[in-house]
Amino acid sequence: MKRLIGLFLFGVMAVSIACAQNTYVLLAGVSRYSDQKANLNSTTKDVKDIKTVFDNQPNTIVSIVTSKYANHDNIVKKLNAIIQLAKPEDKIMFFFSGHGGDGGFFTYEMRIFPYQELVAILSKAKTKQVFCFVDACHSGSASQVATGGSSWASEAKNITFMMGCRADEFSLENDWVGHGYFTKALLKGLRGMSDKNNDRKVTVKELFDYIYNDVTARTKKSRYVQHPQLIGPGSAYNTVLTKW
């Protein structure tokens, strides 16, 4: 009888785990590029510090790739692996910190990773809860792919982009804060400082409002003011990203 009860409980636990909502997170950052003149100071630290946030979230599987491992093919491989794993009820999150240009970000080998290609990969996901965060110059140019004027807009309809700046702006590191302005605000927001209604849950809209206000306030006197961008469906605004 005890054996039967034990087997029954094990089966219930297995079903519970299988049915749990999981969050799959891929964090990519390049501090050391193949062209050393392009090296950055804080991007690997960006990735490692964000990992500590998601490591404390339940049912969250985190992968990181940095510098030479954050090359184009490796990022594609890991994104495709996540696409295969994620169920309709799951979440997918992708973060990149490094150099960016018009229409994409630069991987380790200084190869542009077009936002169009990112959309093409992520649009294959079974889940409608897909979130991308990019701390790179000109990252707002993702809107050229994700909005209604683009032939890719329908593929991007379930993807929410939170970007460090407008298409014509730079997204800068700051040695004093130890991160890019965008990533520093992202970290604080995910840890609960963006929780406006104090329910200990951080939603997409709460997070973006906090990041926007923080980054614009810190850079308004700079020669390179930044305006973070939120690009994606309004239906995702109340999605909970972290709990604290």
Q: What is the H or E stretch that residue 179 is in? A: strand 179-180
Provide the number of structural domains found in the chain. Answer: 1
For the full predicted model, state whether its pTM sits above 0.85: yes
- Model confidence band, residue 19 (pLDDT cutoffs 50, 70, 90): low
d(CA 142, CA 132): 10
- Model confidence band, residue 15 (pLDDT cutoffs 50, 70, 90): very low
In a domain, 213, yes or no: no
Buried b (16+ CB within 10 A) or exposed e, 134-152: bbbbbbbbbbbbbeeebeb
In a domain, 212, yes or no: no
- Model confidence band, residue 171 (pLDDT cutoffs 50, 70, 90): very high
In terms of Cβ atoms closer than 10 Å to its own Cβ (0-12, 13-18, 19+), residue 77 is: exposed
In a domain, 102, yes or no: yes
Structure tokens given for 230: 């939120």
In a domain, 2, yes or no: no
What's the rounded mean pLDDT across residues 13-17? 41
Structure tokens given for 200: 């200990």
pLDDT in tens, 151-162: 778 888 999 999
Chain position carrying tokens 């409980």: 9
Question: What one-letter code names the amino acid at 210?
Answer: Y
d(CA 127, CA 244): 24
Structure tokens given for 144: 């050229």
Looking at residue 148, which CATH number applies to its domain?
Answer: 3.40.50.1460
Give the range of the structural domain holding residue 80, as residue numbers without chain letter: 20-179+228-233
Q: Phi and psi dihedrals of 23, rounded to 5?
A: -120, 125
Sign of CA dihedral 243, 19, 48, 103: negative
In a domain, 43, yes or no: yes
- Model confidence band, residue 133 (pLDDT cutoffs 50, 70, 90): very high
What's the rounded mean pLDDT across residues 8-17? 40
pLDDT in tens, 30-51: 999 999 999 999 999 999 999 9
